[in-house]
Amino acid sequence: MQSGMRLQFTLVSVAALAAAACSHAPVARTAPAVPPAPVSNFDRQIRNAQDAGDGDYQLHTLRARIAAEPDSIPARLELAKAYQDRGYPDVALEICRLAAQRFPESGAVELALVRALHGMKQNSAAVAGLQEFLTKHPQSGAEYYSWLGILWDELGELPTGELAHREAVKLAPSADYLHNNLGYNLLRQHKDAGAAAEFREALQLNPASQFARNNLGLALAGENQTAEAVANWQSAADAATAHNNLAAVLIEKGNYVEARKELAIALSYNKTHPAALKNLELLSRLDGNPAMLAAPGQTGNAEGTRWQRWKTGFKKLFVGPLDDSQPKQPEAASTGATH
């Protein structure tokens, strides 16, 4: 899948002022101290960010540029990105919000605000703002609808996300990543045939897309076209990785017997394949059987020898005991390629 701004923060330094007064009273009195106003975490972050910027040439230059050119959208977006890159996402988000208020018609500012909100896990706010923008600017480009689809997907509203992804594809049908995003939405809805069609279209447009290649394998496996899924993965990776990927899909489906067979094939190609070994260890936890595999056509001592070799390789990859003292979330099977 293919995943700013404004800002001028003025920090006011308040000094305590002592007022001296003449008094004929025999006892000098001291006015009660006024407690300082509490400083919010956000104000403290802004102060820290500005302190960091004082010694940063790029930030200092951008802030000076904005002071001289307050209507420069590129300068504000650059400043937000600079703060984001330096570990101040809250400040970057606030820069984007101020920019959106100052330039409500700017699509570049809206997208920067969406990215900043998404980065802060504020997807509901990002959806609300983006939908309002698209209501006023319905002819905006495909990227806006793609982002809307991604946000709906992450909120778990997959059918609504599908509509946004389809609108994005309609606006830019030659963009491979838009077909991949729509396909992934369909894959999550278990519409495997439709997903496979979108991934194939993405690969027609960009044969080098590893995302579409890997996702096509998942869609094919979901349709129980296992031979085609392995062939698809193997066209871009090695045989061990291809069979391990299928094993991962089978584990997630709960088909542990067939998953063991695929892991046996994967490890027959590469006995130290990291993802396959990890999946074998996971599978042993799930089905309660030992983390061992018999090589095809081997029994007895040959099987024991292979088991000893496997244990040696496993220990090299996983050092130390597994900590089961705390409850854990269910583990996901490992694939050899990025989804």
Phi, then psi, of 66 in degrees rounded to 5: -65, -35
**Residue keyed to tokens 């997630």:** 252
Q: Are 201 and 209 in contact (CB under 8 A)?
A: no
Are 211 and 255 in a shared domain? Answer: no
Domain-embedded: residue 29: no
Are 307 and 251 in a shared domain? Answer: yes
**How do residues 133-145 score in pLDDT, each as one tens digit?**
999 988 789 999 9
**Which of 51-60, 62-71, 246-255, 317-326 has the least mean pLDDT?**
317-326
Containing structural domain, residue 292: 228-311
Are 84 and 149 in a shared domain? Answer: no
Q: Which of 21, 15, 214, 4 is nearest to 99 (CA)?
A: 4
Buried-exposed string 137-156: b where 16+ CB fall within 10 A, e elsewhere: eeebebbbbbbbbbbbbeee
Contacts of 116 (CB under 8 A, 6+ apart): 4, 5, 80, 84, 89, 92, 93, 96
Q: How many CB atoms lie within 10 A of CB 321?
A: 6
Domain stops at, among 128, 154, 182: 128
Task: Count the domains in the chain.
Answer: 3
Written as six digits, the tokens of 271 are 């006995």
Higher pLDDT, 335 or 255: 255
Integer angstrom CA distances of residue 324 from 11, 282, 290, 329 = 50, 13, 17, 11
Domain-embedded: residue 279: yes
Domain stops at, among 162, 195, 220: 220
Written as six digits, the tokens of 70 are 């307050």
Are 248 and 299 in a shared domain? Answer: yes
Domain-embedded: residue 291: yes
Domain-embedded: residue 6: no
Q: What is the SS3 assignment for 339?
A: coil
Helix and strand counts by DSSP (H, E) for the chain: 16, 0
Q: CATH number of the domain that 295 lies in?
A: 1.25.40
Which residue type is seen at 311? K
Are 76 and 111 in a shared domain? Answer: yes
Query: Which pLDDT value is given to residue 318?
Result: 40
**Residue keyed to tokens 């809250």:** 90
Domain stops at, among 98, 128, 158: 128
Are 212 and 240 in a shared domain? Answer: no
Higher pLDDT, 119 or 2: 119
Query: Which pLDDT value is given to residue 264?
Result: 92
Domain-embedded: residue 134: no
Query: Which pLDDT value is given to residue 109?
Result: 94
Q: Are 90 and 82 in contact (CB under 8 A)?
A: no
pTM for this model (two decimals): 0.67
**How do residues 265-296 score in pLDDT, each as one tens digit?**
999 999 999 999 999 999 988 888 877 765 54
Query: Which pLDDT value is given to residue 181?
Result: 96
Are 213 and 233 in a shared domain? Answer: no
Q: What is the SS3 assignment for 13?
A: coil
Domain-embedded: residue 282: yes
Are 251 and 302 in a shared domain? Answer: yes
Q: How many CB atoms lie within 10 A of CB 253?
A: 14
Are 214 and 249 in a shared domain? Answer: no
Are 169 and 198 in a shared domain? Answer: yes
Q: CATH number of the domain that 169 lies in?
A: 1.25.40.10
Q: How many CB atoms lie within 10 A of CB 41?
A: 8
Domain-embedded: residue 242: yes
User: Is residue 172 pLDDT above 60, yes or no?
Assistant: yes
Are 108 and 168 in a shared domain? Answer: no
Higher pLDDT, 37 or 262: 262
Domain-embedded: residue 339: no
